[in-house]
Structure 1
Amino acid sequence: MRVSEKLQKNLESNEKSKPTFSFEFFVPKTSQGVQNLYDRMDRMYQTRPQFIDITWNAGGKLSQLSTDLVSTSQSVLGLETCMHLTCTNMPVELIDDALAKAYESGCQNILALRGDAPSTTGEWKQCEGGFAYAKDLVSYIRKKYGDHFDIGVAGYPEGHPEEEASPQLIQFLKEKIDAGANFIITQMFYDADIFIDWCRQVREAGIEVPIIPGIMPITTYAAFLRRASWCQIHVPDEFMAALDAVKEDDQAVREVGTQLLTGMCQRLLDSGYVTHLHMYTMNLEKASIMILDRLGLLTEDEDIFRDDVVPMPWRKSLHPQRRNESVRPIFWQKRPYSYVARTSQWSADEFPNGRFGDSSSPAFGDLDLLGSALIRQSPQRAVELWSAPKAFSDLTGLVVAYLQGNTKCLPWCDVALNHEVDSILPQLLELNQNGILTLNSQPRVNGSNSGDKVIGWGPSNGYVFQKEYLEFLLPKDKLSTFVNLVEGGSTLTYFAVDATDKLYSNHPDDTAANAVTWGIFPGREVLQPTIVEKVSFLAWKEEFFQILEEWGSILGEQGHSESAELLKSVIQNYTLVNIVDNDFVTEGDRIYDRLRHLY
């Protein structure tokens, strides 16, 4: 959705006109930095920002990564994203390419900027075949894409580095709005009086679009002075006095800075000119969250945006080809990035009416779609996180650490554990402590309210259901015992497959999908958002064993040959199993009761 529409929708739907907020992130320079940023964006998603924006490096040096970040935040993280686009060293063909990629990813918001001068020259010059001013870029986007994009432009309450604040500068801003811009995001500032007076002048000039103040948190004294000097902004005496008194203590600086900015932001919100705050995060988390929390904007007990946040038990994509998607195999529950990559080429044929289509279609995707790395950590970071396991008990120990919240990810699991598993956590811990390595699970749920903060999803006033599900590794020599425990009049169904594709199953029709999560909602058909299905499980098997192979290669290259041999042995001697208890009504844990006989 376009930014201006989201802001208007909030004003119209919220009787209290609760202020909203957004976050800005910049493009990291390393692959590990990108992974860390995705994790941070994912956590900050929980605060319900209206949108995020991704910066564009001067001259488009990291332009491919900028567009990749935009696509991932839209498609995988489900975050409404605004992409910066500058004129600096950007001929029209590069601008066309960036706009096309944004359009294809479902991005509907562009922040059109002239951009800073390249650091190599320190002087801004129009490049050949490019634009001289942001208003020209705005006009070009409007001419080429009509009203598809909401276009934001920069505002300078205290003037531009190349021109002092003046009525002429506001006239330049009006020219950008007249060219087709829909909203304004301002440069950072610390003087609320200057900002509020500037807003008055903007409105008197006939500019009526939303004004969004750019808020720069204060994290250290040195960074505070450097940014204020670089942007040539006025710092009020009370800011300087309070911060100068604690400048040697970074923690105290952040605390005092939070107090000062909380007060400043409240003045902005009270002025009548502002309903939304844009946080310049600098790819950090705590400082922005502290300000928003003290302003009372992080209250979680209101359901204003709930339908936008949890329409499904998995993160809803904002990619235009996936907006009607309503079903996913449960196997990728903890690996949303790779699932979206696998199915990125799917068309409407593979999402008939939003349902999971023909998984045997070639469009289901090869591992090649995921690029060269299945493990989303650098080799050095992988060893830091998971050490170098030398025995199978070390692997189950990693899972125990994950279940206990001591690590946030695993080689085959990109996202942190949620509280959904609390009801079966003792069983999961016992299984791993006794040599059964669990990979994925969900508890039995029989008609919980859709508004439940842990299990709930979908529209309000509905009921959600789940079959108990468990995925785990089992030694091949225990497989026959497992089969005997499960089969014979049981409500349990399973698939088991090893790295050589030898498949075992007791499904009555292993070509059909088995719904393991569904919801009943007023005035709607039954939704079945997660399933267990054979062909997709075989694709997941391929991915899982390749993850182990890649992890082994990383460890071998880091000099941990014993660990590499362990993972090779696991691939050769273990079977990947998923099991479903189709009785979601009767009390008891029939999966655990069977598996405990294996140790």
Structure 2
Amino acid sequence: MRISEKLQTQHSKSEKPTFSFEYFVPKTTQGVQNLYDRMDRMYQSTLPQFIDVTWNAGGGVLSQLSTDLVETSQSVLGLETCMHLTCTNMPVSQIDEALESARLSGCQNILALRGDPPVNQESWKPVEGGFRYAKDLVKYIRTKYGDHFDIGVAGYPEGHPENVNDKETLLDHLREKVDAGANFIITQMFYDADIFVKWCEDVRAMGIQVPIIPGIMPITTYTAFLRRAQWCDIHIPQEFIDKLDPIKDDDQLVRDVGTDLVVSLCRRLLESGHIRHLHIYTMNLEKAPQMILDRLGLLPTHDEPLDNHLAILPWRKSLNPQRRNEEVRPIFWQRRPYSYVARTSQWAVDEYPNGRFGDSSSPAFGDLDLCGASLIRQSGKRSLELWSTPTSIQDIAQLVINYLRGELKCLPWSDTALNHEVDDILPDLVALNQRLIITVNSQPQLNGVKSSDPVYGWGPRDGYVYQKQYLEFLLPKDKLPKLHEALANDVMLTYFAVDYDGNLTTNHRDGSRANAVTWGIFPGREVLQPTIVEKVSFLAWKEEFYHICQEWKLNFENHQYNDSVNVLQRLINDYVLVNIVDNDFISSESRIFQLLSSI
């Protein structure tokens, strides 16, 4: 959705100010993976209207990372994203590639900038076949794409480093960018509210009426505070120096006092009448922006209605237009949304008929290499730091127990941290792992829980949600015959079990049909069933799961941890991957755990 439309809609519904976040592209693959996790966490806890991603000019690896970040945030994380795009080192051919990548991912917002000169270049020069000014880039985007994109441009309340003293000329340039087709203005950072408010008055006096969005820079350390202010050549109010200089050696105190100063700045802006939205430069940090929002009273509360995008499903819906009808996913990828979206990225729109999970056996799941070079979203070094070097099945079970207890935020097969949904079955999960039945994924049963429940709720707030108890786990092969014997004729506990070689055991009468394990009932709507268990997708997940185990083992081989290599090979050879669904969602008995405790 276009930013100007989204903000207009939100501000028409509520007087509460809105906000957004900016992130920059990390220089390493591991940094990118960590940023995805941070973006996701910050979105869940704060609900910004949008995020934006900076551009790394030059058309090389970092430029590709910019477009990858935008595509992933839109398609996988489901975050409304604005992509920076600069003229620096960008011939029109590369601008076209970036814009088309954004369009295909569902991104409808571009921040069009001239850009700074490269670090090895004293003055800015246009590249051959490129644009000289941001207004030219705005015109080009508007001419080629019409109204598809909302286009933002930069504003400089305290002048531009190349034109500090000629404020009138800068305002003329700003008007030219807006006249060329810009829809909103995001400003450079500043700390002087009086200067900013006066600049807003001057902008309006020029006849510029598009939204002005102030760029807010948190204060984290005294050194960084001074460096950024000097680099941008902005005025620091004496109050900031008086309060921060005496405590400059205490980073924690600087952040606390600096947050109060920035909060006071934001309040001045909001009270001026010119501003209803704040854009926070996160510097890829989590705590400082959240402190600002908390003290401004802008964090969401449980009694606030969620926006439609977040409210529809228990998993965040993709904003990629190719997936616009998707409302059902197999539960196996509940903790691995990145690989699921990658492996189904080539599915056509008609694979989600009426939003339902289509015939997965028709297009099949994409190859594992769609997910990138590694299915474990951690570097080899980071994997060792997180999960050490297990030398026994007990060690692997203990890693899972640590994850269940919140002491680990991820596992090789689980990219995301657990929420409190597992609290009710946590003792049972821990007990299974202590008995060396390694749990992989689970959910408790629910029978008509209010959709507004802060832990289990999802969907519109006037409905009820339901879940069948579900458990996925690794079971020693020698216990599989006993499991099958116990469930062979059971119509309520249905299961699939598969080993590394693909040998499938099941008690499903018709395993090809999807079994809804989560659903919701809401006034005026069809039943929503956002997660299912289904054979073909389970077999695709089995392929991925054992491949993850192989990658984990390979990392130990590369570091010559032979005992860890052996225990991973034992897990692959001697265990089967099993999922069980208790279809009796009304019963208060935990039949799955009772069964496994007897095996």
- TM-score, normalized by the shorter chain, greater than 0.5: yes
- Structure-to-structure mapping, 1:27-176, within 5 angstroms: 27-46=25-44, 47-61=46-60, 62-164=62-164, 165-176=166-177
SS at match of 2:322: coil
- CA shift, 1:60, in A, is 3.9
State the distance in 1 between where 2:157 and 2:303 align.
Answer: 34
- CA shift, 1:311, in A, is 1.5
1:234 aligns with 2:232: no
Q: Which moved more, 1:486-495 or 1:47-56?
A: 486-495
State the distance in 1 between where 2:254 and 2:276 align.
Answer: 27
Report what 1:481 is aligned to.
Answer: 482
Q: Which moved more, 1:108-117 or 1:238-247?
A: 238-247
SS at match of 1:38: helix
Q: Which amino acid aligns with 1:142?
A: R
Tell me the alpha carbon deviations over residues 8-63 of structure 1, each in whole angstroms, 9 at most, x when there is no partner.
0111111xx10011110000000110011011101101110000000002334411
- Structure-to-structure mapping, 1:62-461, within 5 angstroms: 62-164=62-164, 165-461=166-462
SS at match of 1:53: strand
- Report if the CA contact (8 A) 1:67-1:101 is conserved: yes
- Report if the CA contact (8 A) 2:77-2:318 is conserved: yes
Percent of aligned pairs sharing the same letter: 67
Tell me the alpha carbon deviations over residues 238-260 of structure 1, each in whole angstroms, 9 at most, x when there is no partner.
11111111111111111111010
Q: Which amino acid aligns with 1:65?
A: L
Tell me the alpha carbon deviations over residues 66-124 of structure 1, each in whole angstroms, 9 at most, x when there is no partner.
00000000011111000000001110000000000000000000000000001011210
- Report if the CA contact (8 A) 1:52-1:81 is conserved: yes
- CA shift, 1:224, in A, is 0.7
| TM-score computed with the length of structure 2 as normaliser | 0.98
Report what 1:567 is aligned to.
Answer: 568
- Report if the CA contact (8 A) 1:399-1:437 is conserved: yes
State the distance in 2 between where 1:13 and 1:233 align.
Answer: 35
- CA shift, 1:4, in A, is 0.5
- Report if the CA contact (8 A) 2:492-2:584 is conserved: yes
- Report if the CA contact (8 A) 1:58-1:117 is conserved: no
Q: Which amino acid aligns with 1:88?
A: T
State the distance in 2 between where 1:169 and 1:59 align.
Answer: 26
Tell me the alpha carbon deviations over residues 278-311 of structure 1, each in whole angstroms, 9 at most, x when there is no partner.
0101111111111111000003234243432231
- CA shift, 1:348, in A, is 1.8
State the distance in 2 between where 1:310 and 1:340 align.
Answer: 20
Report what 1:18 is aligned to.
Answer: 16
- CA shift, 1:433, in A, is 1.0
Q: Which amino acid aligns with 1:465?
A: Y
Gap runs ≥5 in structure 2? none
- CA shift, 1:467, in A, is 0.5
Gap runs ≥5 in structure 1? none
- Report if the CA contact (8 A) 1:58-1:116 is conserved: no
State the distance in 2 between where 1:2 and 1:197 align.
Answer: 28
State the distance in 2 between where 1:345 and 1:279 align.
Answer: 35
- Report if the CA contact (8 A) 2:422-2:442 is conserved: yes
- CA shift, 1:489, in A, is 3.8
State the distance in 1 between where 2:311 and 2:324 align.
Answer: 14
| TM-score computed with the length of structure 1 as normaliser | 0.98
State the distance in 1 between where 2:537 and 2:190 align.
Answer: 52
State the distance in 2 between where 1:168 and 1:488 align.
Answer: 82
Runs of 4+ in 1 over 4 A off after TM superposition: none
State the distance in 1 between where 2:558 and 2:58 align.
Answer: 36
Tell me the alpha carbon deviations over residues 433-482 of structure 1, each in whole angstroms, 9 at most, x when there is no partner.
11110000000101111111111111221111110000000011110111
Size of the alignment, in residue pairs?
Answer: 596
State the distance in 2 between where 1:67 and 1:341 align.
Answer: 15
Evaluate the alpha carbon distance shift between residue 64 and residue 348 of structure 1 in structure 2; reply closer, same or farther with a 3 A threshold: same
State the distance in 2 between where 1:440 and 1:306 align.
Answer: 28
- Report if the CA contact (8 A) 1:486-1:594 is conserved: no
Q: Which amino acid aligns with 1:25?
A: Y
Evaluate the alpha carbon distance shift between residue 302 and residue 180 of structure 1 in structure 2; reply closer, same or farther with a 3 A threshold: farther
Evaluate the alpha carbon distance shift between residue 438 and residue 502 of structure 1 in structure 2; reply closer, same or farther with a 3 A threshold: same
State the distance in 1 between where 2:260 and 2:520 align.
Answer: 44
Tell me the alpha carbon deviations over residues 519-547 of structure 1, each in whole angstroms, 9 at most, x when there is no partner.
11111111111110000000000000000
1:4 aligns with 2:4: yes
CA RMSD of aligned residues (A): 1.0
Q: Which moved more, 1:426-435 or 1:105-114?
A: 426-435
Report what 1:597 is aligned to.
Answer: 598
- Report if the CA contact (8 A) 2:216-2:281 is conserved: yes
